[in-house]
Structure 1
């Protein structure tokens, strides 16, 4: 591998990593316009394993905006990113696949608009596929594979006689 190819690969890897980071930030910040811009025009996401829906990026952004309103505090931690590049139309490096683990702590909205309920935490793995476009790298698909979740336990006071 030549130095030029190695440098191009490193630059592509950094750009792909930035898209994954921007994905997490858009969801955590509730920036659904930024979320939509991360996808190709035919981009899709699948949240069914986490109890969600599957569809095009616009439909998913609408669903997320409603669902995430339950959680005013959220923080995606996307780690263990494995990036693989592939060819499209015989041009090496036009596609990328990222498999990454995630932990996602969130806080339920309280009745007074604050965050008073216990945390909801889930974890699993993302499968991202990306396409290099004239505008840079864009998400073609996002698939969530939720592996576990910890929901708050409702504590009830013992009944008084």
Structure 2
């Protein structure tokens, strides 16, 4: 009986490397949005890659038009911090090659501070949360996003209190 242990170890190592590479793309996505690095954002997508932010009051479209929309709409916020957690990665097949695609389901919490509040306040003014569905494709340049769908589940604006009036 042939020893299949080295082959199994190679497959497990390749899967681990793919999981780390996919995780890096998801992390780069969050950093690009938070830092307003729209060149990086666009580079994370396949040429036909799309994103759908409609559940969060946004738009759906190709990565280039989404980057323009995000750059404009996120100017409202001086601080953004996407925390993407509970990442569930599943690899799929494309054209009979195992591991060419990946689906990632991940929850997010996104605190942001309005730019009008200035830099003095550290507390976020706006917090939302939900779930991302990422679709990735292995390309010659590595893993790239083919699809991003945001499913916002909740949002909160802290109550503002009126300044005290001194008589």
TM-score normalised per structure 2: 0.89
Q: State the structure with more CA Rg.
A: 2
State the secondary structure of the residue aligned to 1:52.
coil
Match of 1:91 in 2: 97
State the secondary structure of the residue aligned to 1:143.
strand
Residue 110 of structure 1 and its aligned partner are, at CA, apart by 1.9
Match of 2:48 in 1: 42
TM alignment of 1:114-153, pairs within 5 A: 114=119, 116=121, 119-153=125-159
The answer for unaligned runs of 5 or more in structure 1 is none
Q: Is the 8 A contact 1:72 1:115 kept in 2?
A: no
Whether 2:28 is the aligned partner of 1:22: answer yes
Could you tell me which of 26, 37, 40 is aligned with 1:31? 37
Give me the whole-angstrom Cα distance separating, in 2, the residues matched to 1:100 and 1:64: 20
Q: Is the 8 A contact 1:107 1:115 kept in 2?
A: no
Q: Is the 8 A contact 1:109 1:115 kept in 2?
A: no
The answer for unaligned runs of 5 or more in structure 2 is 1-6
Tell me which moved more, 50-59 or 145-154.
145-154
Could you tell me which of 61, 65, 68 is aligned with 1:59? 65
* CA deviation string 1:47-79 (max 9, x = no partner): 000000000000000000011110110100000
Give me the whole-angstrom Cα distance separating, in 2, the residues matched to 1:153 and 1:58: 35
Give me the whole-angstrom Cα distance separating, in 1, the residues matched to 2:105 and 2:140: 24
The aligned length equals 159
RMSD across aligned positions (CA): 1.9
* CA deviation string 1:85-133 (max 9, x = no partner): 000000000000000000000000126x536585200000000000000
